[in-house]
Amino acid sequence: MRKRHSIMVIFVVCMLVLAGCGKSEPEETKEEKNQTEALEIENQEDNEEQIGKEDDTEDSKAQGSESEQQETAVSSKTVTIYSPNEMADGFVTEDVQTTDVTESWVVEQLIAQGVIPGNVQALSCAETQEDGVKSLNLDLNQAFADFLQSLGSTGEYMVVGSVCNTFLDAYDCNQVQITVEGNALATGHAEYPGYMSQFDL
């Protein structure tokens, strides 16, 4: 009887253990499913967030390039470079874009157009007001005066006119005084002691 009772007890315990094991598996499976679903949702949110960041980056890049273009458009300036024509009876003009107008840059443009030789340099260039008129004081080196002295009167007139007109246009001034190493410009043909306005032909 005890033997049979023991067997029954053992059987019932085994059944309970088996039943318990059987129930624990679905619960674990449910937990695993929940964890998997949570990971999928998290991954999806991460992906959406990453796409959002990429869109923001592209938008900021587009805005950045637009602002750069606007800055370039605002800071860019068109300067008219004057040079004598082949007959030396008029000026030829060429428009050049720049973002930074300096006396050295203007001299380089005049050299490139063959108006003055390559050894001419701008020593200083200062904007000022003379009797309420926007004016420019331009000081060049001795090479400029030497070059003018090698020309005839017509050639000198055309070179001085080209330099004068180009600098007036570059700096938006009404008159310019050209000196040579601090002294008044004088050649064998003419003297230029004061301010000059735009040359017309």
Tallying the residues shown for the chain, one arrives at 201
From first to last of its 201 residues, the chain has per-residue pLDDT tens of 555 555 665 665 556 556 555 544 444 555 665 666 655 666 666 656 666 555 555 665 556 556 555 554 557 899 999 999 999 999 999 999 999 999 999 999 999 999 999 999 999 999 999 999 999 999 999 999 999 999 999 999 999 999 999 999 999 999 999 999 999 999 988 999 999 999 987
What distance in Å separates the CA atoms of residue 197 and residue 116, rounded to the nearest whole number? Answer: 20
Rounded to 10 deg, the angle between the 103-112 and 153-171 helix axes is 140
Residue 189 has what pLDDT?
A: 87
Residue 76 has what pLDDT?
A: 87
Residue 35 has what pLDDT?
A: 65
The H or E element containing residue 144 is helix 142-149
Measured between alpha carbons, how far apart are the two ends of the chain, in Å? 139
For CA atoms 154, 159, 160, 166, the dihedral sign is positive
Residue 25 has what pLDDT?
A: 45
pTM of this prediction?
Answer: 0.64
What distance in Å separates the CA atoms of residue 147 and residue 125, rounded to the nearest whole number? Answer: 20
For CA atoms 108, 111, 113, 115, the dihedral sign is positive
Residue 24 has what pLDDT?
A: 45
The H or E element containing residue 155 is helix 153-171
Asked whether 183 and 144 are in contact (CB, 8 A), the reply is no
Look up residue 196 and give its DSSP letter: B
| Tokens of residue 137, six digits | 């004081």
